[in-house]
Structure 1
């Protein structure tokens, strides 16, 4: 099987989509399949033989993203398509709705192969968080339509209607759409028939660490061995609820002079963040590390006492799975992700308000036995979501698709043959 995976976000940027794409493609290759990632080029991107880099330009103001240039100059489409065709894909898997994702839709149509989408991002929530003008979204839709040579989707008035039109434009020709959790379908309605929707959570493999990792991480940030440590991993941006978390930590720290908060992740709104820290009154107890490699992030999970996740916009939040693999108790604020996510009641649910988050964090810091029990339940849940199981389930979905001209064939001994798949019930192993 030869699959091409289109993503607008890739290394050196680190986020849940990058983790999901790299996990899937690496595991597919480990089982003998050909999986190639198509992504915008970046000079800091490591050289990888299974990545097809596209000419790209910075998207200023869009959280460090880079835009594939074919959208800006239509004449570049022929060259990009020729490189994609040379890879001889049996199917195309689109992971993002940006220009690179659109190129995947375009290539699938031109090469007459099925296209699968994974709906990683709640576009409605992000459009609201960044106050993206509806007019800008509508203009983007017109540009998308022009590049594909199709009539534009008619969008209603307002930002939400424009995002609905983006989803319809990207997803209407999909053979299947993967939802990372049922929280997606509980939160919004996608323009896809129910029989084409599949719930397949991303699985990950824990990062191995030695016993001294906890102490090294704390020492590197001048955090005492017994100091209460609250951890957050993810983009340090407004759509993630970081403002609520900083306000909540100020309340936690009021009764714990040695408490520390560590924020690991890229920072794209520095003025906004600087103002939050200044107003919090506890900036000297908050550690900002920026993006970090997986081994450092894993050490942070081991070093912390509580993982705080204030976001209410995530479709899956792989960081929750990472925390669980490292037996770190989780406090979260999203009731839908709590009800339909990977950890379920193995995480402590609070409301999103700072006082509520602070109460949840404080409760786990004050009761280590309860925190350990919660973390143990989460670790057992996380053990069910492995990288291998994820790839098997995606393969089972691939095999269920209607392929033209019988271009897609798997050897009877292929790993995917052992995965059973029900569109209604999701993957089973």
Structure 2
């Protein structure tokens, strides 16, 4: 089968979607399928096509196309002649994928990776409310015209259906359990980690407040923050005010550095309000880290999540829950073992790819 992915972002761009696509491409190719990636960012590798682009001024790891009428690029897309078209964003590349599917009369799948409606506070633009409203409407307009829309969690599927999308199927994401291995922590220390974009909606400010409250109650703590984003400078300016916590800003980190951070940490703090799944949380849990997440976080929809998560309400209460685990290593160990078991039981890469292939085959049969 020849499969074409259309995405704004690809590996090693620092976000969950780019890494996910890289893993899925490898998995599909290992099963004998051809996968082509049309993207605006990422490394050039076999069957990856990236047109000329320039960095976004507010989010420099992402890019704008230079040519909004890409006749040569579109010809390359047609020459690929894919059996299935899979769009992973609803904007520039996603629109090109949709147009190609309609012209070639190919089945089209979309994956709902990002809830753009929750990201408005992360950018500073004139008339941003209007811009986000129009973007969300276009997002749903495109999804309603796809043969299948994949949601990474039941919560995301419910949001899609409530906005008129049909043919919605839940397909959870996964993490590589061979890279993110369980680490036994003999003692429990107040070391926290946050890995993700530094934006308001991802909860990085809440993570800092939790570290501050915990430091007050236990006599100091450490928070490692890995990632980049529009809140980075404001956070760094505020750090001198947080005497109770040692806060390290590590910027964008490699996969090897990410694994080191998780091995050295004891709790993963990610109180996001905008995720449709939470791949960074899954990676942390795979190493045995109990995760601090908000009520309603998408991973809580899956069986066993209550055995490995700490619900964040207000910083003092959340810090109190962490402190109780610091004082009770056996309870911490139960959460740590439960975190790994939760990932192993619910999120297999093999099952994900097999389900994806089954969806491709079924919509190809329906659209013949």
**Aligned residues of 1:115 and 1:176 also touching (Cα < 8 A):** yes
**Aligned residues of 2:14 and 2:61 also touching (Cα < 8 A):** no
Match of 2:331 among 370, 380, 386: 370
In structure 1, C-alpha distance between the alignment counterparts of 2:301 and 2:126, rounded to whole Å: 31
SS where residue 201 of structure 1 aligns?
coil
SS where residue 369 of structure 1 aligns?
helix
- Show the counterpart of 2:31: 31
What TM-score do the two structures reach when normalised by structure 2?
0.89
Tell me if 1:254 matches 2:196: no
Distance 1:261 1:359, change over 3 A: same
- Show the counterpart of 1:350: 311
Deviation at 1:323, TM superposition (A): 1.4
Consecutive unaligned residues in structure 1, runs of 5 or more: 139-158, 216-224, 407-429
Distance 1:36 1:198, change over 3 A: same
- Show the counterpart of 1:95: 88
- Show the counterpart of 1:40: 40
Give the count of matched residue pairs: 365
Tell me if 1:111 matches 2:104: yes
- Show the counterpart of 1:191: 164
Q: CA RMSD in A?
A: 2.7
Tell me if 1:50 matches 2:22: no
Match of 2:266 among 295, 305, 314: 305
**Aligned residues of 2:37 and 2:47 also touching (Cα < 8 A):** yes
In structure 2, C-alpha distance between the alignment counterparts of 1:135 and 1:239, rounded to whole Å: 15
- Show the counterpart of 1:182: 154
Tell me if 1:165 matches 2:127: no
**Aligned residues of 1:92 and 1:114 also touching (Cα < 8 A):** yes
**Aligned residues of 2:4 and 2:36 also touching (Cα < 8 A):** yes
* Aligned ranges 1:366-405 → 2 under 5 Å: 366-384=327-345, 385-402=347-364
Match of 1:280 among 238, 242, 250: 242
CA deviation profile, 1:91-134 (whole Å, cap 9, x unmatched): 11111123122221122122221111100111111135446666
**Aligned residues of 1:316 and 1:341 also touching (Cα < 8 A):** no
**Aligned residues of 1:332 and 1:347 also touching (Cα < 8 A):** no
SS where residue 85 of structure 2 aligns?
strand
**Aligned residues of 1:2 and 1:35 also touching (Cα < 8 A):** yes
In structure 1, C-alpha distance between the alignment counterparts of 2:79 and 2:362, rounded to whole Å: 25
* Aligned ranges 1:93-242 → 2 under 5 Å: 93-130=86-123, 161-187=133-159, 189-193=162-166, 196-208=167-179, 227-242=189-204
Deviation at 1:228, TM superposition (A): 2.6
Consecutive unaligned residues in structure 2, runs of 5 or more: none
Query: Once structures 1 and 2 are overlaid, which stretch shifts more, 201-210 or 263-272?
Result: 201-210
In structure 1, C-alpha distance between the alignment counterparts of 2:234 and 2:205, rounded to whole Å: 9
**Aligned residues of 2:11 and 2:19 also touching (Cα < 8 A):** no
Tell me if 1:321 matches 2:282: yes
In structure 2, C-alpha distance between the alignment counterparts of 1:337 and 1:276, rounded to whole Å: 30
SS where residue 20 of structure 2 aligns?
helix
Distance 1:341 1:54, change over 3 A: farther
